[in-house]
Amino acid sequence: MDYVELGRTGIRVSRCCLGTMTWGSQNSEAEAHEQMDYALAQGVTFWDTAEMYASPPNPETQGSTERHIGTWLKKTGKRQEIVLASKVAGRGAAFGGLSWMRPDGGPTRQTKAQIDYAVEQSLKRLQTDYLDLYQLHWPDRPVRVFGGQTFKDYEQDFEAFGDILEALDAHVKKGTIRAIGVSNEFPWGVMRFLAEAETKGLPRIASIQNAYHLANRTFEYGLAEIAMREQVGLLAYSPLAQGQLTGKYLDGKLPAGSRKALYNRMQRYEGPGAEPAIRGYVDLAAHFGVDPAQLALKFCDTRQFVTATIIGATSMDQLKTDIAAFDLTWTEEMEKAVNALHALQPNPCP
């Protein structure tokens, strides 16, 4: 396993990041513990979670993922071996308000009071006294997120960038947060956070956690240059397009126990042109004699602007396949082939 610096923080993270959002919905606590044991044994020391998980969001499972991680940390005593990341929810309108996540029953926002509450609750569930990376799960601004096809009203109010950073800075000074990052963010938002940090002496974001995969390379159009020049690398989530790039859903297949079968929330990956593009990458993997999941993961791992690629698995076989992908040799022939397919059908699953 390779390790790199997270932004300019001095924190070293594994290039493979362990995603956790199925723990508490599709995976039991025991299964989550088994995944953590295996991942750490393979050198995967960077783990990502969120206050909203398990996914999909609902009041019955909210916080269960962090609780499963917390019981593992208490049982093993291995907190110091892990770089642990979590997230605070953004503007609740993206999910109908998420009022059940806050004690006052109001919609989630990134105010100081809500950030303070979210950090405190995450630390309790995780049974730790600090987070290595704390991220804004999506913007407080009303913007297109999670594959939505339209932008929202730019005239609506939102929490000022400086106010959000000041709220996070209080936790950095307390030692409850080591570094901060953003997620599902856009170029303007990233640059505003960087500018506010520089002019006001506030914490500098270290990472951008956005969707990025063979069928969604929109990060390359504006954010990739920022990631490189400003040393704010991508934490690529959904590198398999929630399993679509494995080919398991092609031709109308609906595997029992899959996310699509359970939740029918795959529309982000099923728009016009999606299936032929996905089929192209699955066929390409067969041409090179590699697992399609491993081709997709190694593609992300070989991008210069990527700090880490976030994997997610519901079975141990899937987890083993995913982690093994980081040992795959990426060739110039593979690079040319995926770029040729991208040119034919660019970004069908943004």
Q: What is the DSSP letter of 56?
A: S
pLDDT (tens digit per residue) in 63-83 = 999 999 999 999 999 999 999
Nearest C-alpha neighbor of 58 from the set 8, 102, 98: 98
pLDDT (tens digit per residue) in 47-61 = 999 999 999 999 999
Q: Which domains does the chain have, with CATH numbers?
A: 3-242+293-344 (3.20.20.100)
Average confidence (pLDDT) over 162-167? 98
Cα 193 from chain centroid (whole Å): 19
3-state secondary structure of 81: helix
CB atoms within 10 A of CB 39: 25
CA dist 95 and 108 (Å) reads 10
CA angle, residues 302, 304, 307, in degrees to nearest 5: 85
Average confidence (pLDDT) over 255-263? 91
The count of C-alpha atoms lying within 13 angstroms of the C-alpha of 46, restricted to the half-sphere facing its C-beta, is: 23
pLDDT (tens digit per residue) in 16-28 = 999 999 999 999 9
Please state at what angle helix 187-200 crosses helix 223-230, rounded to 10 degrees: 30
Catalytic residue among 53, 134, 237, 269: 53
3-state secondary structure of 31: helix
Exposed, middle or buried, 130 (CB in 10 Å: 0-12/13-18/19+)?
Answer: middle
3-5 vs 12-14, strand pairing mode: antiparallel
- The pLDDT confidence band at residue 96, using thresholds 50, 70 and 90, is confident
pLDDT, position 152: 63
Active site annotation includes 53: yes
| pTM of the model as a whole | 0.97
